[in-house]
Amino acid sequence: MCRFAAYLGEPVLIEDLLYGPDGALVRQVVDPELMSMLNLGGFGLAAWDPGSPDPRRPLTYRVPTLPNFDRNLRVLAGKVRAGALVAHVRGVLYDSREGVGSHNIHPFLFEGASFALAQNGDLYDFGRMRYDLLEHIDPQLAGLIEGTTDTEWVYALVLSQLEDPFLPIGPEEAARAVERTLEILRELRGRRGIATQSPVNLVLIDGTWMLATRYAYDYGWYPDDRSFFAGEREHDFTSLWYAAGGRFGRRDDGRFGMADGAATSAVIASEPLTKHTAGWLEAPEYSMLVFTPAEDGKLAVDTRELAS
């Protein structure tokens, strides 16, 4: 299991999301509030700076090391502002069979694709269904897969649902591609007889819109063994939270959060970035959140139910 945070709106110093708040993403590597595991599998970031050359192409940073000890990241985060961002700390089982390396770091962003994707979830028994996905993945995109994590395959699958995976798309097209992807995964799991709980909390962002799912297949069905997955029955549905308001940062009262006023900015995160959660809303289970800029400069937040 992993943690992610995504931001869209008025430019913020990256440091304010990654390090500043008392529940900031980097702190969630070793001290997540809503999960029991540490997130030791690496760190990744994609950040869009509207003032940079070629602003549709984000800054990316993906390393298999811990961000807590990364001085380069800390300095970078204190100097760069982003109008959109997705960052991810990867949770892996404490097991030597895990593939920990730069090829498995989220967010994934294929060369030429317009949006990045990260996940907080895991498809149980993915190894048994991995190659079944190939019948639904564009061969050109399949050739871009470098790693072994289910997320990169899901990313390729989402892109494969688009007419042209290398053209910019709007949030509605992205939402349809995600819904179709979830249907395909459900169908393939059924074909393989995989009926164990598998959370699929995705976040997609292209610098101008973002969407996220709070979703799971077969919620409440766990393996009867002593594995990590069996222990998941002590927890509720994998969490997803969001907040909307003015720019995220340190407020007048000294706390981090969204500035008062119109909703020009929004954060989606696996768990609130602040211990004080009054400004945060929990996404419903089996839902998709879509954040779209409106003409008045505000962000529209749409919550949709997903079929299960």
Partner 1 sequence: MSAVGPANGAQIALAEIPLFAGLAPGAVERLERFMARFEIASGERLFRQDDHSGRMHVIEHGRLEVQVELPAGHGQALAELGPGELLGETSLLGGGRRVATAVAREPTSGWVLDRAGFEMLRLDVSAGAVELMARITELAVARLRARYQMIAAVLGGDGDAPASTATREAAIPAAAGLATPDYLRGLLCFREFRDHEQIAAAIGEATPVEVPRGTVVVAADEVPAVLLVVVRGAVDVSVRRGGTAQRVRLAGPGRFVGHVGVLDRGPSPVVARTRERAVLIRLPGERVRDMLREPSAIARRFSAALAEDVARALQQANRPVARTLAFSATHTHSHNPVPTSL
Site residues (vs partner 1, CB under 8 A): 218-222, 224, 230-231, 233-234, 236-237, 243-246, 258-263, 275-282, 284-287, 298-305, 307-308
Q: Is the CB of 37 or the CB of 222 nearer to partner 1?
A: 222
SS3 for 27? helix
Q: Is the CB of 119 or the CB of 238 nearer to partner 1?
A: 238
Min dist CB 126 to partner 1, Å, is 20
Query: Which of 201, 166, 160 is CA-nearest to residue 283?
Result: 201
Runs of H (alpha helix) within the chain: 14-18, 71-77, 126-129, 139-142, 150-160, 171-192, 228-231
Q: Provide DSSP, 157-222.
A: HHHHTSSSTTS---HHHHHHHHHHHHHHHHHHHHHHT--S-EEEEEEEE-SS-EEEEE-EESTT--
Min dist CB 33 to partner 1, Å, is 10
Min dist CB 95 to partner 1, Å, is 21
Q: Is the CB of 127 or the CB of 254 nearer to partner 1?
A: 254
Min dist CB 78 to partner 1, Å, is 26
Min dist CB 258 to partner 1, Å, is 5
Q: Is the CB of 187 or the CB of 302 nearer to partner 1?
A: 302
Min dist CB 22 to partner 1, Å, is 11
Which single residue is written with the structure tokens 């340190």?
250
Q: Is the CB of 34 or the CB of 40 nearer to partner 1?
A: 34
Distances (CA, A) of 93 to 19, 64, 122, 221, 299: 25, 14, 11, 19, 37
Q: Is the CB of 51 or the CB of 278 nearer to partner 1?
A: 278
| C-alpha dihedral (59, 17, 8, 60), degrees to nearest 10 | 10
